[in-house]
Structures are given as C-alpha cells and as structure tokens.
Amino acid sequence: MYDTGKVIGGLVVFLILATSPLIFNAMSSTSAEPPELVPPPNGTQQCVMPTEWMRSSHMNLLDQWREDAVRRGDRDFVIEATGETVTKSLTLTCMDCHSNKSEFCDRCHDYLEVAPYCWDCHVAPVEGKEVR
Amino acid sequence: MMDGSRRSFLKLAGLTALGAAGAAGASTRQASANPEVATEPAHTGTRLAMVVDLRKLDADGEVAKRCIEACHKAHNVPSFNSIKDEVKWIWTEDFETAFHSQEFHFLREDLEHKPTLLLCNHCDNPPCTRVCPTQATWKRESDGVVMMDWHRCIGCRYCIVACPYGSRSFNWRDPRTAENLADPAMRNPEFPTRMRGVVEKCNFCEERLARGEQPACVEACDNDELVFGDLNAPGSKVREMLGRHLAIRRKPGLGTQPEVYYIVDDPATLGAGSDEPAVAEQPEMEGDHA
C-alpha cells in the first residue's frame, strides 16, 4: 500500500474527530440535569399507584382508564393503599392534584422528548400565566 | 364400462348439486325467519329517551336558546361565525322543516314556524354506528346511548353520511380557535374539546348521567319543556307523557327507531288534562256502507 503512514494517520485523525463529542462527554463530568418535578401544590402525598410505578407506567394506567371510562362506563378506581375511590379521569383526578402541569408533566416530557397528544383535547388546568 | 362410469359420475354430480341447492334453500329460509333487524324493540333493561314538549316551546325560541347554550357550554362545542364550519349538538329548525317528511298540509301557523329543538335521536337501530370503521361510535348496551370515542375517530365522516337527521358535525377547523374556546379560561375544564378532523354529536350527557345528573339541556328548562328518562320503566315521566299525548318522531319510516319524541297536540283539540290516552276518534261512516 502506498502512503501507509498517511492513510492510517488520516483514519486515526478522522476517528478522533468523529467521536470527539463522545470523548468530550466522557472526559468532562457534565451531564444533562434530570428534570426537577414539583410535587402537587395541594400537598397530596398519596398517588393512585406507588410513585415508582407511576414514574414508569403512568401512560399504561391512563390508557386503561380511558378504555374503562369511555368504552365500558367503568369510572371508579380504588386506591389500593388507602381504599379511597376516585374517578378514572385525567382532568378530574390526575390534574386535580397535579395542577402544575408545566412543572410536572411538561418538564419530564420535554426532557425525554415525548409529545403526548392528551392536551390537544383535554383541557389543561389554567396556571398562573403559562397556559398551553 | 366407460359409459357406465360416466353415467354414475353424472348421477353423483346431480345428487350433489341437488343437495347443495337444498342446503342453501334451508339456510335462506332460516335467515328470513330470523331477520337481522328486529322490528319490535326489546323492552328489557334501560332505554333512555327524551320527550320534547313542543306546546311549551315558545315562538321566539328563548327556551331553546337556553338549552343550546347550556349544552354547548358544558361540552365545549366550538362556535364559528360560518355556517360551513358549524358544529352543533342541539339546535333548532322550524317545525315544518324538522318534520318535512310527515307532509303536514295547511299546518297551523304557530306550529309551522315554531323553533323545534333537534338533537341526536340516539336511535334504537342507529345507522351511524354500523358504518364506523374504527368502532369510534357505538350504541351502549346498558341504556341505548349512542356513544362516541373521540380518541378513535379518524374523521372519515361515514357516520355523517349515514345519519338521516344531520345530528353529526365535523370539525373542519381546530375547535380551539373558535371564538368561544380561544381563551382557555372560557373552556369547561371538566370536558374535553375536540381536535380538528373529528366528528362530534350529542352524547345524551353521558358524563352527567354517570354522576347522577340530568342532561344539561333538560336542566336548563324550568317548565318540563324537555323530559328525560327510562322508556322501559312503566312509571317514568317519559312513559307517562307518551301515554297521555300524541307524540311524533322524525322520519319514522326509516326504521331507525329514534328515541327523541315530540309532543305536538294542543290541549284544546285533543283534550289534554284528561287521564285518557289521546286517541283521535274515527268519525262514524254514514249512508250506504253498512
């Protein structure tokens, strides 16, 4: 092969340049800050399901609630931890506590770059100034 | 040998054909004895219905306006300043227009142009639900309400074509740009808006029924202009009204079995107030016909 040194050297330079963002991130200790979620303003401590489960699976719960309430007319949900009965409703139950949508739902959804279309139709609670 | 085998083959083929024809005939007979469309509604369970007392609706449509406002406010129904984009759950037409297929000739003038409240008839045999490709609309078995699931509607508008009453509207524009919904503070937070490209209609206030309340339009009336209840409960108010008055339905000949009834009789002509069911008497035949 002609110019072995130049070719190999060029390849090495290319690899370093191409992976430079990764190398930079690995060497520096900066990382994207996880979103800071603000708990319900009304002081509620008890969610309808355990917090950890909600963090990962609230969308499944909402999907199930939608199916139950709209199609089966089954609107009552019993919170296992307290035995309390709530209505299966995003706007009436979830948003009743999490009335700070922009500091709760939106922050995490923005961080994860997901855009659920719930709010195309469901009316978000009116917050101080910021309203979507 | 060859002739014989051909003959036996033809015999066998003939027998098979006969058998097949017989089986087909039998199944056809079975089908006609068991028609898909029941002509007589089954009187079991709950069957929600509404009675509109036209005698009590005023000529200026003030009561109707109140009902419409209450409904459209409760359900975030967008109002655009254009008939082309109109979305309506409950609305009015002149009596004559609303019942044009009934062919009333020389109709009493006050009735002819009376603003008549119209809404989804929540038919017992709804044509709209059959055509929906996504089951976004269906008749609820528990009480007969014709439901909609806006999560599922893909906006094909087959149901709009299927509905003979014009009860369904399409959101040609984003409803949140409508003058009454543009300001988020004006929306009813307890009920969703719709999005562009979705069909909507009256839901008999199923969300209010679930809370044990009456429909919004019924609640907006203060003189029983609209009465709502279970048609299958013999003592219910709707049954009592239907038993005592002459009530008509829109386009009954289509077989959709609409469940919104209109009381048209005038107390003076049909003797309202008596406990007898109002039935027009046949005049006695006179003369040669014995």
Q: Where are the domains of chain B?
A: 48-289
ipTM given for this complex: 0.76
Q: What is the pLDDT of residues B81-123, one digit of tens each?
A: 899 999 999 999 999 999 998 888 888 888 899 999 999 999 9
pLDDT of B44: 65
| CB atoms B184 and A91 under 8 Å | no
User: A24-28, B125-129, B169-173 — which is least confidently predicted?
Assistant: A24-28
* Interface touch B185/A126, C-beta < 8 Å: yes
Which of B 237-276 lie inside 8 A of A, CB atoms? none
- What rounded mean pLDDT belongs to chain B? 86
Average pLDDT (B226-250) is 93
Strands (E), chain B: 48-53, 90-94, 115-119, 137-139, 146-148, 169-170, 199-200, 226-230, 247-248, 260-263
The pTM assigned to this predicted structure is: 0.76
What are the CB-based long-range contacts (under 8 Å, 24+) for B204-209? B204/B48, B204/B50, B204/B120, B204/B122, B204/B145, B204/B146, B205/B71, B205/B74, B206/A73, B206/B140, B206/B145, B206/B147, B208/B74, B209/B48, B209/B143, B209/B145
pLDDT (tens digit per residue) in B8-57? 888 888 888 888 887 776 655 554 444 444 445 555 689 999 999 999 99
Please tell me the predicted confidence (pLDDT) of residue A30. 72
Picking from B99, B1, B119, B114, the residue whose alpha carbon sits closest to that of residue B50 is B119
Cβ of B151 within 8 Å of Cβ of A120? The answer is no
Query: Which residue would you say has higher pLDDT here, B45 or A40?
Result: A40
Interface test with B, best of A70, A99, A122 (most B CBs within 10 A): A70
Asked if A70 and B191 come within 8 Å (Cβ–Cβ), the reply is no
- Return the CATH fold of B48-289: Alpha-Beta Plaits (3.30.70)
Residue-level pLDDT at B45: 82
